[in-house]
Amino acid sequence: MQKVALITGGSRGIGLGIASEFAAAGFNLVLSGRRSRQEVEPALTELRNLGARVSYCASDIADPSDRRMLLDEVRKSYCRVDVLVNNAGVAPEQRRDILDVSEESFETLLRVNLQGPFFLSQAVAAWMLELQATDPDFRGTIINISSISADIVSLNRAEYCVSKAGVSMMTKLFAARLCAHGMAVFEIRPGIIRSDMTKAATEKYNRLIAESDLCVVKRWGMPRDIGEVALAMAEGRLPYCVGQVITVDGGLSLKRL
């Protein structure tokens, strides 16, 4: 039976990079995002051309009713979920100094980047345990996409850093809870990845990558770089790792003298 992966924010950027690797490896997919089906249809076609069966559910991960609708879609389409990738996330609409961050922006980022993934993971983990109760060989995986901002300070987007640091603790908590059942929970921390989120800063990062020692690997990270790591996790190739963080940043966070 083909495994099923649910990938939030899976129709572009890092999410699409992950979905592409999974599709090529034989996974069936359910993608979610806030864009309409018409907007994401080219991405869905691209994934189907890789051989995957693909469903899409327009939904807001921060909305409890949308999360229920999303899981209903997975149950209806596949009756199972083997992998959850919590990838959907947002950056602040305006970058402001930490002394000027608004409560509205803080609450928005926490709801989308942390609260939504937490409660989606809670629901999926409970479902995975139900699946295992009927099939002892079932092994589920949860993969959380955070950011180097979980550990590296950016004073002009404090609410983003806080939300991603929360994802790191969430990873450890679910890993500790599910490990006894043979289920894996991981965190991937991307660095500077070419995507919609970094598009506005393209010129800045082009210059820094080329002219400074910002990254050991002198290139942008690509969505595929994240997808390849996520696939190794989903395929069970890290069996003795529990709640671990894999940083995919070209050496940006490597301590150097």
Measured distance CA(157)–CA(250) in Å, rounded: 22
Proportion of the chain above pLDDT 90, given as a percent: 93
For residue 71, give the nearest of 48, 87, 55 by alpha carbon.
55
pLDDT of residue 257: 83
Measured distance CA(10)–CA(209) in Å, rounded: 27
Answer for the pair 188, 248: CB distance below 8 angstroms, yes or no: yes
Per-residue pLDDT of the chain in tens (257 residues, 90 and over written 9): 899 999 999 999 999 999 999 999 999 999 999 999 999 999 999 999 999 999 999 999 999 999 999 999 999 999 999 999 999 999 999 999 999 999 999 999 999 999 999 999 999 999 999 999 999 999 999 999 999 999 999 999 999 999 999 999 999 999 999 999 999 999 999 999 998 878 777 888 899 899 899 999 999 999 999 999 999 999 999 999 999 999 999 999 999 98
Tokens 């018409």 belong to 38
pTM over 0.85: yes
Q: Does domain 4-248 have CATH number 3.40.50.720?
A: yes
Answer for the pair 195, 141: CB distance below 8 angstroms, yes or no: no
DSSP 91: -
pLDDT of residue 137: 96
Residue type, 74: V
Answer for the pair 141, 185: CB distance below 8 angstroms, yes or no: yes
3-state secondary structure 124-182: HHHHHHHHHHHCCCCCCEEEEECCHHHCCCCCCCHHHHHHHHHHHHHHHHHHHHHHHHC
pLDDT of residue 164: 98
pLDDT of residue 166: 98
Measured distance CA(177)–CA(190) in Å, rounded: 25
Partners of 251 in the β-ladder: none
